Amino acid sequence: MDFAAILSAAVTGAIGPVAAAYALAAIGLNIHFGYTGLLNFGQVAFMLVGAYGVAISVSVFGLSLWLGVLVGVLCAIVLALLLGAPTLRLRSDYLAIATIAAGEILRLFYRSSYAEPLTGGVFGLQRFANEFYELNPFPAGEYGIGSITFSNRDLWVMVLGWGLVALATVFVYLLIHSPWGRVIRSIREDENAARSLGKNVYVYKLQSLILGGVIGSFGGMVMVINTQSANPDSFDPVVTFFVYTLLVLGGAGRIAGPLLGAVVFWFVVVFFDALLRQAIAAGYISSDIIGAPQAGAVRFALVGLGLLLLMVFRPQGILGRKEEMVLNGR
């Protein structure tokens, strides 16, 4: 077994474009769940409308990619309004049910043959981000330290992805450390108390849903720009659960929680993946027990075990504060 290769694969996964896309989705979800207390189980829907906003604008309507980004953001705002207007008066568990359903409805609609002229149905849409790659300032080649290398193409996507993560983190920091953020956090604690002090809770929840949704839609855009391919089935509910997982892992309700969570989560996932594959190839694990095709599923079982241990021994996440966790036991 080549441990150096396993480690460098894990580091590559932790700082690669996919981790950046998940970090963005988690920063958005952190506004919803970590700060406002909204149990949004449909974050993937915001990623989907963002991704397809770009893909459809370019592939079908021949618009500029940058106009596509604007369309994606507008789609996320419209989705937040449609989703929020009827559901934000509901108690939090009903919001969770409504949002998870909305995510699945959107995915199934985008992959339906009815929507195929626009979305490409099950085949999705491809090659819509050329405009972005044409701007790549890095000359062709491999960049990196030692065995951790990225192509100039990956590097350019990483600049975009982590650049957006940095912007979004600063944005959320400013929002949360303001009177607006104080109202948002008070709604998380007790919305009737906020109401009794004259705060229009409904409007604040809607604003929170829109902001977090728009940031999440950028996550979806980075994801499909990275692969140059938008496919409805890459936006299944599991994505939302991964986003929750890494948010809780990093620390919900902490500014850097989603960022750290995304890096650690993808490090661990890729680490187990590479470890299993190497162990199977080297014959340490008999292919009768776990064959190479099953390794992908087993790594998530191991990730699940890791999370279980995290919940038992550090439920507040890496950056979370224990004392706040205790106070949450209302």
Summarize as ranges the residues that interact with other proteins (CB under 8 A): 171, 174-175, 178-183, 185-186, 188-190, 192-201, 207, 211, 253, 323-324, 326-328, 330
Separation CA 91–CA 102 (nearest Å): 17
Closest separation in Å from C-beta 225 to other proteins: 26
Question: Closest by alpha carbon to 121, among 43, 230, 240?
Answer: 230
Cβ proximity to other proteins: between 116 and 324 the closer is 324
Cβ proximity to other proteins: between 127 and 177 the closer is 177
Cβ proximity to other proteins: between 184 and 295 the closer is 184
Cβ proximity to other proteins: between 99 and 208 the closer is 208
Separation CA 24–CA 316 (nearest Å): 20
Closest separation in Å from C-beta 120 to other proteins: 36
Torsions phi, psi for 61 (to 5 deg): -100, -5
Closest separation in Å from C-beta 151 to other proteins: 36
Cβ proximity to other proteins: between 153 and 185 the closer is 185
Separation CA 95–CA 76 (nearest Å): 17
Q: For residues 23, 24, 27 and 31, what is the CA-based torsion angle, rounded to 10 degrees?
A: -150
Return the DSSP state at 35.
I
Query: Under DSSP, is residue 148 helix (H, G, I), strand (E, B) or coil?
Result: strand
Closest separation in Å from C-beta 206 to other proteins: 10
Closest separation in Å from C-beta 328 to other proteins: 7
Separation CA 232–CA 119 (nearest Å): 9
Closest separation in Å from C-beta 69 to other proteins: 20
Cβ proximity to other proteins: between 127 and 182 the closer is 182
Separation CA 330–CA 328 (nearest Å): 6
Separation CA 41–CA 202 (nearest Å): 19
